Chain A
Amino acid sequence: MKLSSHTIVLEAVLAVLCVILALAAPGFFTAENLLNVLRNISMQGIIALGMTMVIIAGEIDLSVGSAVAFAGCWMAWLTGHLDAVLSPVPAVLLAMIVTIGTGFVPGWITGILRTRYGVPSFITTLALLTGLAGIAELLTDGFPLTPFPEWYGSLGGGYLAGIPVPAIMFVATFAVILVLMDHTVFGRSVYAVGGNAEAARLSGIPVARIKTAVLALTSALAAVAGILQSSEIMSGTATTAKGWELDIIAAVIIGGTSLTGGAGTVRGTMVGIVFLGVIINGMTLLNVNEYWQHVVRGGLILTAVLLNRMQKHAHANGATA
């Protein structure tokens, strides 16, 4: 995939923004703060990378926020129950394996309903958004579950060689998905499926399998983020990660991915998510009140999409004219 000019423009704007913040906001340009930004964006970022694939494939997943909450509660519930029969380390590990292993199920269901019965992913994941949150509530009975041993907290809150663990996982996921989307048959197929599903099917591409796979993968990534999140707050809490889906979709869109499918880049999403993280961090450092932060974020989404449209328009009309 050739780099779109949108990503390059966005990267330039991001660089300028960082310079301004470095000058204007005391404490922005310190290693500690930058690592903090990185940690803050990494859980949503991990999911946003999957969401990019889903949107490029012409689908959407509105349930990721609830999937994070559900995974955290499921993890806590399992740990609590396994604790009774196992010692802490195997209990946590087993719970983790089961949580990630079952994490793909919501996305897989969405994919099956979409490809076998034609139910739009918008509808299924809207249902899952409520449904999963409900299950999380049922598991926790409305109160945070806190069965985790002390060391569990280092997963979401700890450092490895001075870098936050979630950030390492985010960057690793980025690398894997970047290669997956740009250099494998699977990734190429995702673009084709989202661009024109029928042409892709006639080209011998297994459209149903591709769509189901990206949905399931994103769901599983949400479960991973859910585990990290539960480690950070040391509990399974049903009310956590509310509204994440919108932040995540916003980052993907800011990164230049088209909601109509078929176009977008993983790298763009990376820039989009960093952009959002930096803006929020900068505004917090500058003591901008939280309500204004929401307004600015909204404006940012619109501006980015407008920018993207205007570039496309100029291109279609022949920039040399």
Chain B
Amino acid sequence: MTTLELRQVARTYPGTVALKDFSVSWTGGNIHALIGRNGAGKSTLVRILTGAIPPTSGTVLLNGTEIRFRSPADAGRAGIAAVYQELSLLPDLSIAENIHLGRLPRRQGALSHFVDWNEASRRTEELFARLHLSLNPSTKVGTLPVAQQQLVEIAKAMSAEPDILLLDEPTSALSFAEAEAVFALLRTLAARGVLILYITHRLGELRQLAGTITALRDGVCGGSFPAADVTPAQMVSMMFGEDVKLTRMLGHEPGTRTVLQVRGLSRPPAFENVSFEVHEGEVLGIAGLLGSGRTELLRAIAGADVPQRGDVTVNGAVCHPADPSVMKRAGVAMAPESRKEHGLVTGLSVRANLCLADLARLTERGLVSPGREDAMVATAIRECGIGVPDQHMPVSALSGGNQQKVVLGKWLATGPHVLLLDEPTRGIDLAARAQIAQTIGTLSARGLATVVVSSELEELLLLCHRILVMRRGRIVGALDGATTTLEELLAQCMEPT
């Protein structure tokens, strides 16, 4: 059976110790969960195991022999594959082509420069049969829903028949119902002897999925136990060394004045005829499955896309949501869903990113004032709990969760009247979630109107006064955040059968 052992593995970056002294031992045929706060070093560990970076010190033993990878290809040959949160598939190619990218089967004899498409399909079908997946190999990947793309991504990693599969937050973009398909696939793989390392911030999914749970804390092992022996509260204290609880932070009732009014907004086929109001101090949630039109709705309100019909009123003034700068001036801020594409300028520093949406307010006599910048950057780093040793670091050097906090911090700093949040806590650890929930609670008590889109229904129930449910681009229901149960909300989101 496959065994993977790490002995005192360490990795430092200039100014940061990502891994200090991590030792653990994992065996095949099992799903091993790895948890830890943002910046604990989880992704760093994955990068070391896939040969993307070398460890600064320490040894990695695969089946008892020490391994040293010089490149990801080395790791691939040793039987290690990885899947990341960001999909690496090419949307315009078919499933079969994506899976065999770079090693497509060739035809025989004189035609050996040509691709043997039949063979590619056949191999893909075989692979899918082994993995119990029912997908058509000739489908274009871009037409699949994200959850199924994630399955293709895992299948692709598995096509090289690795003994070890590393998954870095593979389900953070999926809702619980959609993640279930990924879990089923992982269980199948584990049953066939594969060693699976699974990184997540959604502790709820681990009890039924994982065999063992290991926590990384401050670069060392915070404990490693069979999953059955660990309660969620224990997981939290393994990660943080203290208790952190998510509780409902809304101590106030919304006011009566309407801040945001959306009337008959349509942008077919994404969403149609959407109308709602958000009052002063209200936190409104929007629940729904992937593809129900939630992101598109928020984008249209923020002026990122032009709606076909309908209008948006902010503080009584009708805005023609033509572009984001107009909406920003009206007091609307939107933290978008995908941080790499829409949220951050990854080449710029943390400081520059935090100031980006608020430059005009940071000027004095036409020049950007470093003093004002300092003040705003310090506040944002504190309020959102951004873990960064030096604000001049490029934002790309931050851990995934900390990057997400920069996106939030940048918009909170603009002091908006209306805050639109699209999957605000994706990839963020529990402590930071609690902090962000508190920040939203405080700001809304002061009158901020907030709209939250989240695939994590528990979170909506904790954060919101009221929750709208979207299905296929239409609003189909409204629930009270304080009294609704998780089951009721989930049932509302699903298609009636």
Chain A interfacial positions (CB closer than 8 Å to B):
2, 179, 183-185, 188-189, 191-192, 195-196, 198-206, 262-263, 315, 317-321
A188-B368, A191-B352, A202-B304 given; 10 more Cβ-contact pairs under 8 Å = A184-B368, A185-B360, A188-B356, A192-B356, A195-B346, A196-B346, A199-B344, A204-B357, A263-B347, A320-B14
B170-195 interface mask toward A, CB cutoff 8 Å, 1 = contact, 0 = none? Answer: 00000000000000000000000000
Partner of A184, one of B342, B343, B355, B366: B366
Query: What is the interface of chain B mostly: helix, strand, loop, or mixed?
Result: mixed
**Count of CB-CB pairs between chains A and B under 8 Å:** 92
CB-CB nearest in chain A for B333: A204
Q: Which residue of B lies closest to A182 (CB)?
A: B368
Q: Which residues of A contact B410 (CB under 8 A)?
A: 203
List residues of B whose CB falls within 8 A of some A CB.
11-14, 53-54, 56, 302, 304, 323-325, 327-329, 334, 336, 341-349, 352, 355-357, 359-360, 362-363, 366-368, 392, 410
Q: Which residues of B contact A183 (CB under 8 A)?
A: 367-368
**Could you pull out 5 A-B pairs where Cβ atoms are within 8 angstroms?**
A184-B368, A185-B359, A205-B325, A206-B325, A318-B13
Q: Please measure, in the bound complex, the distance between the C-alpha atom of A201 and the C-alpha atom of B356, giving whole angstroms.
A: 10
* Bound CA span A179–B366, Å: 11
Which residues of chain B have C-beta atoms less than 8 A from A319's C-beta?
A: 14
Contacting A205 at CB < 8 Å: which of B12, B327, B356? B356
Once the chains are docked, how many angstroms separate the CA of A183 from the CA of B372?
13
Question: Of residues A2, A191, A192, which shows the largest number of chain B Cβ atoms within 10 Å of its Cβ?
Answer: A192
Contact B348 A192 (CB under 8 A): yes
For the complex formed, measure the closest distance between the CB of A102 and the CB atoms of chain B, giving whole angstroms. 27
Q: Which residues of A contact B352 (CB under 8 A)?
A: 188, 191-192
Closest residue of B by beta carbon distance from A315: B14
- In the complex, the answer to whether B367 meets A184 with C-beta atoms within 8 Å is yes
Tell me the minimal C-beta distance from A116 to chain B in angstroms.
13
Q: Please, which residue of chain A has its CB at the minimum distance from the CB of B370?
A: A183
In the docked arrangement, what's the CA distance between A319 and B362, Å? 34
Complex Cα distance, B103 from A116, in Å, reads: 41
Q: Contact at A2–B392, with CB atoms within 8 Å?
A: yes
Q: Which residue of B lies closest to A263 (CB)?
A: B347
B302 surroundings in chain A (CB, below 8 A): 202
Closest Cβ–Cβ distance, residue B262 to chain A (whole Å): 19
Please tell me if the beta carbons of B342 and A204 are within 8 angstroms of each other in the complex: no
Write the nearest CB–CB distance from B370 to chain A, whole angstroms. Answer: 9
Cα A184 to Cα B347 with chains together (Å): 19
Docked complex Cα distance between A189 and B352 (Å): 10
Beta-carbon nearest neighbor of B366 in chain A: A184
| CB nearest neighbor in B for A2 | B392
CB closest residue in chain B, given A195: B345
**How far does the Cβ of B480 sit from chain A's closest Cβ, in whole Å?**
32
CB distance from B363 to the nearest CB of A (A): 6
B348's partner among A191, A201, A321 (CB-CB below 8 A) is A191
